[in-house]
Amino acid sequence: MGFLDTLLGRSKPVKPDLDRLFGLSTAAITLEAATGFTPTGLGSVCFRAAEGGAFARLQRDVQELLDADEGPKVEISTDSYGYTWILNRHDPAELPALVTDLHAVNATLEANGFGPHLLVSLVGFRGPEGQRLALVYLYKRGTFYPFAPLPGDKRDNALELQVRGAVGADLPFEDDLGRWFPVWGAPGL
Q: Compute the distance between CA of residue 139 and CA of residue 115 in angstroms, rounded to an integer.
A: 9
Give me the least distance between CB of 24 and other proteins, in Å please: 18
6 binds other proteins (CB under 8 A): yes
Per-residue string for binding with other proteins, 87-126, x by CB under 8 A?
Answer: -------------------------xxxxxxxxx------
Residue with smaller CB distance to other proteins, 37 or 137:
137
127 binds other proteins (CB under 8 A): no
Residue with smaller CB distance to other proteins, 37 or 139:
139
Nearest to 110 by CA among 64, 58, 149, 35: 58
Q: Compute the distance between CA of residue 138 and CA of residue 143 in angstroms, rounded to an integer.
A: 5
Nearest to 125 by CA among 101, 147, 158: 147
Give me the least distance between CB of 175 and other proteins, in Å please: 12
Please spell the DSSP secondary structure of 15-49, one letter per residue: PP-GGGGGHHHHHHHHHHHHH--EEEEEEEEEEEP
151 binds other proteins (CB under 8 A): no
Give me the least distance between CB of 108 and other proteins, in Å please: 13
Residue 23 corresponds to which amino acid?
Answer: G
Residue with smaller CB distance to other proteins, 126 or 141:
141
- HSE toward the beta carbon, residue 187, CA cutoff 13 A: 18
Footprint of other proteins (CB under 8 A) = 6-14, 48-55, 57-58, 80-83, 112-120, 138-141, 153, 176, 178-179, 181-182, 184
